[in-house]
């Protein structure tokens, strides 16, 4: 199968299973108009995050990498009353777009956005932990450090999701020294070696190409 088939199937599944949503569509339009990179999750991936959040009964969610807030909206909508998503974004311009998107989607009261390098803002979250679900979707070279923090801020039963871990297949190429690939490879090795987690990873194809995600449960 070729990428055109992946895209066609992704479109079919989205039309079938993900109802049109004005706020989510507007969030993508706002991001595009502002010139933000199209690194947001797909609609079906957003729905997956929503379901996962509901299934694990999360009340406190940590998201590392906000961008325009598209995935944040999915996560926030899955929370019960009194729940919160703490989302971290290093780029102030991205954060400004995200704030507008949260207000439009009606989830601003469930989202706490912290702006600055995640390596700095994560250290200020000890008093907000433990988190029930952590979604890691930021700069891949720092994925190993983000996993260290996710584990420090978690509890037994916390779910950790790491996005974009296949890198078009490059993760399996030991000769590929791209910084993002190396970061993801180290991240996956940490999951394999750390006795505190049980983990797996799945390849995905679709409108956003060939990639995948890692899923871990803290023991």
Q: What is the mean pLDDT of the chain?
A: 97
Give pLDDT tens digits for 187-196: 999 999 999 9
pLDDT digit string, tens, across residues 94-130: 999 999 999 999 999 999 999 999 989 999 999 999 9
pLDDT at 2 over 90: no
- Give the domain ranges of the chain: 3-218
Helices of type H across 34-135: 43-55, 70-77, 92-105, 118-121
Q: Is the pLDDT of residue 1 over 80?
A: no
The CATH number assigned to the domain with range 3-218 reads 3.40.50.150
Looking only at the bridges linking them, the beta strands covering 133-136 and 159-163 are parallel
Confidence of residue 39 (pLDDT cuts 50, 70, 90): very high
Distance CA(145)–CA(179), nearest Å, equals: 14
pLDDT for residue 119: 86
Q: Which two tokens stand for residue 145?
A: 């450090």
């Amino acid at each position: 199968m070729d990428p055109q088939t992946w895209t066609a199937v992704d479109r079919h599944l989205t039309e079938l299973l993900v109802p049109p949503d004005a706020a989510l569509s507007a969030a993508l339009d706002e991001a595009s108009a502002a010139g933000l990179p199209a690194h947001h999750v797909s609609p079906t991936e957003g729905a997956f995050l929503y379901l996962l959040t509901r299934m694990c009964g999360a009340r406190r969610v940590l998201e590392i990498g906000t961008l325009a807030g598209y995935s944040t909206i999915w996560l926030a909508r899955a929370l019960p009353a009194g729940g919160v998503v703490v989302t971290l974004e290093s780029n102030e311009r991205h954060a400004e777009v995200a704030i507008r998107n949260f207000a439009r989607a009606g989830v601003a009261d469930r989202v706490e956005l912290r702006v600055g390098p995640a390596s700095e803002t994560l250290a200020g979250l000890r008093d907000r932990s433990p988190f029930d679900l952590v979604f890691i979707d930021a700069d891949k070279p720092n994925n190993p450090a983000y996993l260290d923090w996710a584990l420090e801020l978690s509890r037994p039963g916390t779910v950790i999701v790491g996005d974009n871990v296949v890198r078009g297949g490059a993760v399996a190429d030991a000769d590929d020294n791209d910084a993002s690939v190396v970061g993801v490879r180290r991240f996956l090795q940490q999951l394999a070696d750390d006795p505190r987690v049980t983990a797996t990873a799945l390849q995905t194809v679709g409108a956003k190409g060939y990639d995948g995600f890692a899923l871990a449960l803290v023991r």
